[in-house]
Structure 1
């Protein structure tokens, strides 16, 4: 279900093909929250989950249950773009805010929380998209730079799983990367313990900005 790609140095993309069925909604929400945590974008998780739920529910209601669809998440330093692709070219209907019908109410939710939204025609049908923004944050940028390094590292050791947003896999990748860096430091005649001490000192100096963990509490699987 999951595919990952890097489109440019400061932009990440997650592509999630799925079948438009109610049981899929919980899985989409879980995957979105985990992916945003890995990208250092957890503050957007609630809004993103709501947007994804509304967009996917509209596909179920108006295109048809069981329809093949694709969720695309594009993120740069301070913005998340959510796209929901389906095979219908029928665009969502905008209804007055006071309308009693459920149809179209999800668009009002998107407009209320999104910096921008719209629809685009595609070769296969259409995509409904919205953009969610966050104020600049240096801690988030540090997390995103670290993710970019680990993605590249995962490819160099031919370990595709290292690029998936699962905490145990990311921890293993981060540990392996730090071990390699310490080997490099020793090969350059540097003191690995001194490198670790300096890194810890810099991290503790930044701790007020970094005190909120980028991942939700671990749960047993």
Structure 2
């Protein structure tokens, strides 16, 4: 199940798949891996549940084996989850006292998401929801860090491509080393800078 990672300000990941029961587990795993790359693992449980329900609904109501696409979009304090399929029939939210099989996915979206909806697309329809990620400050720092690391890697002319953990980790080490050289050249104490940065990190982590 290849993912198409689009490097833009909103952090968008496109995961095409076939609506098969065996694919649902792989789709959940791919979503969790992507959240880890973005540093927003706290939304993992909610995202897995939403992905499971949306993918299962495609299997039940559009057809087993039909093509579909999951789109994850990180928008700072929110994660947008979209499920696209080839059917133009929009689902409806049934009454809460109906059978458990009936409309369960939409009731779950309405309960867990800060916003959700459906839309007709050129190829069928999309069902989407947005999940709260938590601390705006933490998400904003993660976004700034990824921007800085990607920009730093490109300026350095690295032969490594992509945004996998190993690439960004190496970029982080090189960036920190250069910053320490800069602090030393400015007459500052690199150890003091590291200690102050660690104090900031621990204070924000405890408050999260």
- Give the TM-score normalised by structure 1: 0.80
Q: Do the aligned partners of 1:59 and 1:86 also contact (CA within 8 Å) in 2? A: yes
Q: Following superposition of structure 1 onto structure 2, how do residues 24-43 of structure 1 map, counting pairs within 5 Å?
A: 24-43=23-42
Instruction: Indicate the residue corresponding to 1:210 in structure 2.
Output: 205
Q: Is the 8 A contact 1:3 1:14 kept in 2?
A: yes
Q: Note closer, same or farther for the CA distance 1:7–1:171 as it changes in structure 2 (3 Å cut).
A: closer
Aligned to 2:185: 189
Corresponding residue number in structure 2 for 1:4? 5
Deviates more, 1:171-180 or 1:116-125: 171-180
Contact 1:38 1:147 in 2 (8 A): no
**Structure 1 residues 155 and 15, CA gap change in structure 2 (3 angstroms):** farther
Structure 1 pair 65/154, CA: closer, same or farther in 2 (3 Å)?
farther
Q: Deviation at 1:180? A: 4.8
1:180 and 1:59 map into 2 onto residues whose CA distance is 49
Cα displacement string for residues 31-79 of structure 1 (whole angstroms, at most 9, x for unaligned residues)? 2222223323222111111111111111111111111111111112211
Cα drift, residue 210 of structure 1: 2.6
2:132 alignment counterpart: 133
Secondary structure of the structure 2 residue equivalent to 1:97: coil
Question: How far 1:90 moved relative to its partner?
Answer: 1.2
* Counterpart check, 1:82 vs 2:78: no
1:170 to 168, 171, 176: 168
Moved over 6 A (4+): none
State the Cα distance separating 1:13 from its structure 2 match: 0.9
Contact 2:160 2:167 in 1 (8 A): no
Change (3 A) 1:198 1:119: same
Q: Residues 170, 7 of structure 1: CA spacing in aligned structure 2 closer, same or farther, 3 A cutoff? A: closer
- Unaligned 5+ segments in structure 1 are 213-221
1:95–1:104 contact (8 Å) kept in structure 2:
yes
User: Structure 2: which 5+ runs fail to align?
Assistant: none
Q: TM-score, normalised by structure 2?
A: 0.85
Could you tell me how far 1:181 is from its partner in structure 2? Answer: 4.5
Q: Distance in 2 between matches of 1:106 and 1:135?
A: 23
Find out whether 1:65 has 2:60 as its counterpart: no
> Over aligned residue pairs, what C-alpha RMSD do you find?
2.6
